[in-house]
Amino acid sequence: MNHQDRSYKDKKVISIGTVSELTGLTLRQIRYYEERKLIAPYRNERGTRKYSFIDIETLMDIADKREDGVQTTEILKEMKLKEKQRESDAEVRKKMLRGQLNAQFNIGRERN
């Protein structure tokens, strides 16, 4: 994906301190969720973490689930399942589009 094509929500530009202020999570909690592979901030050459708005939304979702007593291992399983479903949905959309194009332009059919 071209850097300019990305949504502002995807851009990893927010510091961990700002993330902490926005989410109400402590720095320790945010780092813990990173250790548990629930969040993946960008790290620059000095190791400074940078987060996106999508990361903040994910952290808020994690915090809500943790408040409800859901373990981080279960949250990670759910996140992986959702990612697989998104990939599967994207593949189905691609096949449907290919089928529509084939039907529209008679691709793959013998012509009389």
Confidence of residue 89 (pLDDT cuts 50, 70, 90): confident
Confidence of residue 3 (pLDDT cuts 50, 70, 90): very low
Residue 112 belongs to some domain of the structure: no
pLDDT digits (tens, 9 = 90+) for 33-73: 999 999 999 999 999 999 999 999 999 999 999 999 999 99
The pLDDT of residue 103 is 84
pLDDT digits (tens, 9 = 90+) for 94-103: 988 888 888 8
Structural domain of residue 57, as residue ranges?
1-70
Residue 70 backbone zone (phi > 0: left; psi -120 to 50: alpha; other: beta): beta
Confidence of residue 105 (pLDDT cuts 50, 70, 90): confident
Q: How many domains does the chain have?
A: 2
Q: In what order do the strands lie in the sheet with 14-15?
A: 14-15, 49-51, 42-43
Residue 77 belongs to some domain of the structure: yes
Are both 9 and 56 inside the same structural domain? yes
Are both 55 and 25 inside the same structural domain? yes
CB 57 within 8 A of CB 47: no
The pLDDT of residue 108 is 58
Mean pLDDT in the chain?
Answer: 89
Are both 21 and 64 inside the same structural domain? yes
Are both 55 and 76 inside the same structural domain? no
The pLDDT of residue 5 is 54
Are both 47 and 96 inside the same structural domain? no
